[in-house]
């Protein structure tokens, strides 16, 4: 099999799309989660322009109305439309999740790759930082960071990123460590590449698929974390529409039978987390060479 005849070349974007289509067709659940993902992105991007009511406008005359044709998800104690608020909140929650995951990827991913590739003191420093973070209950640590730095969206993003740091650093470290002595890394050295260039052009691109799966899986956690912080009052402040606050506000009305105020934002939260976790599993199938039969 020295020189097999030239087959139709498949590479680049076309191959990725083709392979994705194959995986989605093979696995209906992944296809479903891709659909949900598209829906969430749509809600985040165009949601605020298409919702029927102003999410901040209160109308005491229609306060605490159950779901109806006019108000699909009912209204809350100030008469605000729950449906509009849930949709508008998507953008904020999605933004927090994406930003914190991007931040932790940059911090944890790079630190981990450096630790795995260089070893020695870099490895020890990164390892101990990760250990220190993991010594705290993660949510309590996130609470502490937000409480200390102040209630703002930036600080929620930072806190969520920090609590996820060990996860990224460790995965990146072990993946980089495996590739440290790989033939292609040595070959790159023979070609005159320095260490930094080897890390950036040889090692990092090869661990990206695994990191992307990890990012999708932690997106769900990041959304939960942000909502959780808001729920206990350490996050986004009312009246900003945000799923966590809405659940917190609605919780008080559960006992009196007005279930819809907490239920629908909770449902949105659940669907989002569910979607990102399924998506992570699906992405793993796409990047896992074992499935590339």
Residue numbers at the binding site for another protein (CB under 8 A): 1-4, 6, 9-11, 22, 182-184, 186-195, 202, 205-206, 289, 292-293
25 or 45: whose CB is closer to another protein? Answer: 25
Q: Any bridge partners for residue 247, and if so which?
A: none
In the chain, where does DSSP find H-type helix?
Answer: 12-26, 28-50, 82-104, 110-118, 120-134, 138-149, 153-179, 183-190, 195-197, 204-231, 243-254, 260-287
91 or 291: whose CB is closer to another protein? Answer: 291
| Main-chain phi, psi angles of 230, to 5 degrees | -65, -35
Query: Minimum CB separation from another protein for residue 159, in Å?
Result: 34
Query: Minimum CB separation from another protein for residue 88, in Å?
Result: 40
30 or 164: whose CB is closer to another protein? Answer: 30
CB 241 within 8 Å of CB 261: no
Query: Minimum CB separation from another protein for residue 178, in Å?
Result: 11
Query: Minimum CB separation from another protein for residue 14, in Å?
Result: 13
152 or 201: whose CB is closer to another protein? Answer: 201
Q: How is residue 111 written in tokens?
A: 């630190």
CB 277 within 8 Å of CB 221: no
Q: Cβ–Cβ contacts within 10 Å for residue 68, how many?
A: 11
109 or 166: whose CB is closer to another protein? Answer: 109
Query: Minimum CB separation from another protein for residue 5, in Å?
Result: 10
183 or 257: whose CB is closer to another protein? Answer: 183
Measure the CA–CA gap between 88 and 120, rounded to whole angstroms.
48
Query: Minimum CB separation from another protein for residue 284, in Å?
Result: 17
Measure the CA–CA gap between 186 and 179, rounded to whole angstroms.
10
Rounded alpha-carbon distances, angstroms, from residue 284 to 12, 25, 29, 212, 291: 19, 15, 13, 9, 9
Contacts of 110 (CB under 8 A, 6+ apart): 172
18 or 237: whose CB is closer to another protein? Answer: 18
Any idea what DSSP says for residue 66? P
Query: Minimum CB separation from another protein for residue 25, in Å?
Result: 10
Residue 48's closest CA among 81, 97, 74?
81
197 or 237: whose CB is closer to another protein? Answer: 197
Query: Minimum CB separation from another protein for residue 281, in Å?
Result: 18
User: How many C-alpha atoms does 212 have within 13 Å on its Cβ side?
Assistant: 14
Measure the CA–CA gap between 68 and 145, rounded to whole angstroms.
41
């Amino acid at each position: 099999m020295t020189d097999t005849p030239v087959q139709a070349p498949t590479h680049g974007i076309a191959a990725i799309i083709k392979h994705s289509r194959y995986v989605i067709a093979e696995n209906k659940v992944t296809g479903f989660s891709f659909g949900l993902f598209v829906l969430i992105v749509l809600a985040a991007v165009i949601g605020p322009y298409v919702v029927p009511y102003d999410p901040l406008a209160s109308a005491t005359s229609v306060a605490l109305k159950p779901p109806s044709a006019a108000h699909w998800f009912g209204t809350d104690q100030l008469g605000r439309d729950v449906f509009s608020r849930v949709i508008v909140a998507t953008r904020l929650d999605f933004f927090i999740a994406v930003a914190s995951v991007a931040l932790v990827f940059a911090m944890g991913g790079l630190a981990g790759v450096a630790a795995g590739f260089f070893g020695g003191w870099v490895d020890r420093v990164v390892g101990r930082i990760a250990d220190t973070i993991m010594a705290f209950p993660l949510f309590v640590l996130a609470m502490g960071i937000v409480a200390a730095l102040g209630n703002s969206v930036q600080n929620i993003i930072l806190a969520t990123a920090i609590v996820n740091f060990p996860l990224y650093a460790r995965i990146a470290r072990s993946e980089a460590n495996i590739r440290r002595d790989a033939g292609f890394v040595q070959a790159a050295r023979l070609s005159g590449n320095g260490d930094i260039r080897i890390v950036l052009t040889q090692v990092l691109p090869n661990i990206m698929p695994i990191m992307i799966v990890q990012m999708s899986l932690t997106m769900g956690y990041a959304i939960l974390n942000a909502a959780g912080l808001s729920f206990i009052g350490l996050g986004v402040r009312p009246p900003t529409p945000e799923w966590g606050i809405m659940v917190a506000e609605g919780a008080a009305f559960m006992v009196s039978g007005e279930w819809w105020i907490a239920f629908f934002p909770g449902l949105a939260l659940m669907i989002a987390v569910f979607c990102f976790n399924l998506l992570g599993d699906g992405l793993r199938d796409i990047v896992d060479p074992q499935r590339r039969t």
